[in-house]
Amino acid sequence: MKRLLCCLTLCCGIFAAAMPASGQAMMAAKPKAPASPPAAAVSVIGNKSFWIAYSSPGVKGRAGKIFTADGLIKTAGGSQYPIWRTGANSATTLIVDGKVKIGDITVPSGAYTLFADISDQNNWTLIISKKTGQWGLSYDPADDLGKTKFTMSAPSSMVENLKWEITDKGNGMGAITLSWENHTATVDVDTH
């Protein structure tokens, strides 16, 4: 019994002595942040709720090389250029809780996936797909609810991380905006 207690005491002592070193190593090894962290835009326009869930990639020193004919979007592995997933990773999701009009598209209450046709880097088209839950690169035109033109502009300064915004303009009107790098694309929303 004495021998067992001595062994246990010795083992516990070794374990306790090693613990601070391994704890320090664990503290030094911080978890790596995702390259394109999850993000969301949420708002109410009129009496309708809007929610966009997406992953937000960064420019990361590639300014001027994202949307060009030989840029990141076209050369990304598995890309369906000129159709872009409007984010990274899983498909960008739009959820509305009532019938609305987004640009020229009548959108019933429900969940949708957002894509963009960026074949002309200065004139984009928003694509609203009825299919949801897919990886962002899985686009099939047979699933389109509709397409509508974005109004394009340049941001006041380069937008490092992709950002979706939903803006209430009052009286049941609003806008959905996508900004990244040196592009801003906006589409009007009508909740009447």
Per-residue model confidence as pLDDT tens digits over 77-123: 667 889 999 999 999 999 999 999 999 999 999 999 999 999 988 89
Q: Are residues 20 and 57 in the same domain?
A: no
Q: Are residues 56 and 98 in the same domain?
A: yes
Q: Are residues 25 and 42 in the same domain?
A: no
For residue 69, give every residue at least 6 positions away whose Cβ sits within 8 Å of its Cβ, in sequence order, or none: 121
Q: How many domains does the chain have?
A: 2
Q: Are residues 75 and 128 in the same domain?
A: yes
Q: Are residues 19 and 43 in the same domain?
A: no
Q: Are residues 8 and 47 in the same domain?
A: no
Q: Are residues 173 and 85 in the same domain?
A: yes
Measuring CA to CA, how many Å separate 21 from each of 9, 77, 92?
19, 41, 43
pTM over 0.85: no
At residue 67, the pLDDT reads: 87
**What residue numbers bound the domain in which 14 lies?**
1-31
Residue 163, helix vs strand vs coil: strand
Q: Are residues 45 and 80 in the same domain?
A: yes
Q: Are residues 61 and 126 in the same domain?
A: yes
Q: Are residues 92 and 23 in the same domain?
A: no
Does a cis peptide bond (omega within 30 degrees of 0) precede residue 82?
yes
